[in-house]
Structure 1
Amino acid sequence: MKKTSYLFILLIIFILVSSQAFAGDPSQYDMIGFRGGVWRVEKADEEITSSPYKASAKTHSPYLELYFSLGLKKGFCLEFLLGSCSRGETRFDVDDGYFWESVTIIPLSFGAKHFFLSRNLKKSWQPYTDLGISYVIGSTKLDYGSFGSYRAFFEGYGETSSNFGFFAGGGLDYQISELLWLNFDIKHQWIKFSKEVGGLKDYRGARFTLGISYAIKQK
């Protein structure tokens, strides 16, 4: 996590001191892009006391996102986000052994973005804030179990849960060519399922991503 944070800091420094070869207002474009990073689930390292088992899972998980931005001009955009967070293998310890589940979290989000310095077209970097709502699907798949001398591989057994949540955050778009933009994004996602998904109900946490977007249409 420290290496990722250092990378983001170096990127911001590079953007702020680099030459302004291109400068524009991102809200003047419709864009499609892809970014990746990490999702830090705040409750992932806490023991579960309400269940007959103890779950062990990573706090930081890889996160990928496809996004589309619809420019409205005057610094405003609408954004549509399709993400996927793979928490990998989660271990559950029970009285007579343990078992593993693979966990995937898929947020589908819609929100609004505001570039609050968009009138300053002399800058190729444009900071923004955004917020929106999410429909989040949590999926688990039972993979493997060890119960004393008995070993088992499970196929085809899984569960899903879903609920609505919301996000808020901000970031920076940096224009590197006439149609390409680098994007650094930080969001805090709030989501709580009605039942446990991979040993957790509360999946709130921060997402740190870095990506690139392509302008498909100018207003």
Structure 2
Amino acid sequence: MDVSEEAARQTCAEIAAEGGSAHFHRCDISRQAEVLAVFAQIGTPQILVNNAGIAHVGNLEATTEEAFDRIYQVNIKGAYNCLLAAVPLMKAAGGGVVLNVASIAALVGLPDRFAYSMSKGAMAAMTLSVAKDYLSSNIRCNSISPARVHTPFVDGFIAKNYPGQEQEMFDKLSKTQPIGRMGRPEEIAALALYLCSDEAGFITGCDYPIDGGFTTLNT
């Protein structure tokens, strides 16, 4: 599911190139009616990964009501809408797995990330609530908390905010992780795959930082 049809098609093409198969549904997860309609087409999911999210840079005073509401609509309400659509179907089918993508912003104080941190704290809390409430329904729910990961979003953010200083800022942001670099999407995916697999069947209600030592080794 993606709000961008172009991005969704690209993801499906990448999966197909690796020998897999995929199809997509365009959906604005902030709109509950859209989400419910898409899940009615998909049917009962075995796994739900709440990965959609947007960012915002700014402290409390630099966060407008419009920006705050936008973060809430996607990062919090969007996750709620997907949970509301998927969990009852999983419950009726006898079980399933939910993985929420939180952030180290929910675990430590980050400068100029007021609204974003708020939203990821909510994601962590929803993880615990769903894990507790649906234990008897054979539904596991965990979360992962990445630090900075090298994605097109990072490249776009640097290009927009630091024109002419791209390499310098990339190096600076990379070194905020004690391990000395940003994470790779494949590394995040590997942890997500494990937590959604049967091998992780004894794990629920847990959050896993995947952060190059950011939350424990920074001084």
- Larger fraction in helix: 2
TM-score, normalised on structure 2? 0.26
Which has the bigger relative contact order, CA under 8 A and spacing at least 6? Answer: 1
Structure showing greater Rg? 1
TM-score, normalised on structure 1? 0.26
- Larger fraction in strand: 1
